Amino acid sequence: MQKRKLGKSNLEVSALGLGCMGMSFSYGAPKDKQEMVALLRAAVERGITFFDTAEVYGPFTNEELLGEALSPFRGKVVIATKFGFSLNPDGSPGWQGLNSRPERIKQVAEDSLKRLKIDAIDLFYQHRVDLDVPIEDVAGAVKDLIQAGKVKHFGLSEAAAKTIRRAYAVQPVTAVQSEYSLWTRGPEAEVLPTLEELGIGFVPYSPLGKGFLTGKMDASTTFASNDFRSTLPRFTPEALKANQALVDLLSRIAAEKKAAPAQIALAWLLAQKPWIVPIPGTTKLHRLEENIGATEIELSTEDLHEIQSAAAEIKVEGARYPEAIEKLTGR
């Protein structure tokens, strides 16, 4: 497995990370814990050193899963987790609202350290920008945690370029995590140039379009009520049908390369910048191995030009999220 550095921070991780949310949260019922422990350890054996979680995934159960699964590899893997929500008092899934007040950030850090069974959080992201708390105060709270040795690196998720700059002025930002893939190109306009200028790494989540870019869905695909894709405008039958052209493009390139569409989607991301580290999620070993295979695929300048030209002709239908959640992004 190749390694990459997240910006100029020298935080070195595997070129591909593993998004762990779906093991406990959002994509239907939580998966069997022991099966997921085995999958996480299989990922380490195959060279993955970068794992992504958050207190809200469950809540808490995803961090606990990683704490158990990765404890034998302490010091050899990088675990990223997140703060930024007020959770439901009864512990039920979901959240009450945003909360990035400094005292809340510091409490989340203490609790996450216990669940993850680690001495310091490798990368601590603000999950969503909280307009009620100045980003300078957020960065200052994380700076305090870094100085106390409880956090190593500061990250932001779904933040706008101007917010990234304001945070960076208080505490250098190591990585920004936002949705980015062939069907979500928003970060290209302002965020990626800002990250390049400041020397910040970029971690695309949902790099396979929440499963759509694998080519395993079509307009007839249905989602259970406990699968959050059932609420997403981009996963209506009409949108799935309209967006099929993107999958057809990936499938065509994949056939030429004797690869899977998902591998081309990931290889395209890896080819954009050397400081981009996608974090596809999966709960299946064969999909994990398929995703890892993307790091071996070389896309030529001609391949990339062909993908860019064809993708530019395709208009993606449907918003990423329902309006109430969409408005929490890009702030």
- Residues classed as catalytic: 57
Q: 288-318: b or e for each residue (b if 16 or more CB lie within 10 Å)?
A: bebbbbbbebebeeebeebbeebbeebebbb
Identity of residue 30: P
**SS3 of 301, please?**
helix
β-bridge partners, 50 = 78
Are the CB atoms for 279 and 270 separated by under 8 Å? Answer: no
Residues 6+ apart with CB under 8 A from 4: 12, 13, 14, 15, 201, 274, 275, 276, 277
Which helix (H) or strand (E) segment holds residue 12: the answer is strand 11-14
Sign for the pseudo-dihedral over CA of 239, 242, 247, 249: negative
Neighbour-count burial for 90-104, b at 16+ CB within 10 Å, e otherwise: eeebebeebbbbeeb
Long-range pairs, 114-119, Cβ under 8 A, ≥24: 115/55, 115/60, 115/63, 115/64, 115/67, 116/53, 116/63, 116/66, 116/67, 116/70, 116/79, 116/81, 117/67, 117/68, 117/71, 117/74, 118/67, 118/74, 118/79, 119/149
